[in-house]
Structure 1
């Protein structure tokens, strides 16, 4: 075989490989953490203040799992009606499985969420709340099983 044919074969294989890579990259789904990522980044000072305020609580938020529910246990000072906030369960692998729930603390200082809402796997739990006009923020990774 002539060396000219070998060069043509190498170029054809290279072009086929590049077309394959382009086709695969166009089919790959890319999820951002939030759709309004840049606006969230500008409000990051609130997160910093919220983390600082949350570290000053008498006890940290507790997250545990039973067979039927995910239980969030809050410190004693959060058991008042002036607490407003939101629970976000962010699924890094699939944005369609994210769950947002309003914060509703029971008299015992707990909030329970039915495990049927979740699929098994890794979630980032983000809790944002305000109490007496002070922001609070906490995040933790959990694996729902």
Structure 2
């Protein structure tokens, strides 16, 4: 085999590799954590304040059974939350994310498991109780 054929084979292989890489890159699914990330970043100080308040108040107690995910507020939070938002954030598949407005009853929240996929989630809970904002983040494995 002469050098001309070897160089042509090398360039053909390189072109095939480039076409394969371009094909794979155009068919890769990229998901953002939030579609409105810029507005979320502007409100980030509220999240920091909520995390500081949550660390002072104590940890959530999360229990997971076959029917419900139960979240118990720390005993130091004596006032009932006015409004609460729960977000089950799945890092691997955005279509499995679940956001919901929730209501606490005597400091206890019960979330129906049938609404949530069997995945590993980052559970984010935000609420306001007694004019203080709280933000909790906890990992939950439902697999």
TM-score (norm 2): 0.92
Q: Find the aligned partners of 1:47 and 1:129 in 2 and give their Cα distance.
A: 11
Q: Distance in 1 between matches of 2:102 and 2:45?
A: 22
Instruction: Quote the offset at 1:42 in angstroms.
Output: 1.9
Q: How far is the alpha carbon of 1:121 from its aligned partner?
A: 1.6
Tell me by how many angstroms 1:133 deviates: 2.3
Gaps of 5+ in 2: none
- Partners of 2:86 and 2:12 lie apart in 1 by 54
Instruction: Spell out structure 1 runs of 4+ moving beyond 6 A.
Output: none
Aligned Cα RMSD in Å? 1.5
Alignment match, 2:85:
86
**1:19-58 alignment to 2 at 5 Å?**
19-57=19-57
Contact 2:53 2:134 in 1 (8 A): yes
Which residues in structure 2 correspond to 1:68-79 (within 5 Å)? 68-78=67-77
Tell me how many residue pairs correspond in the alignment: 143
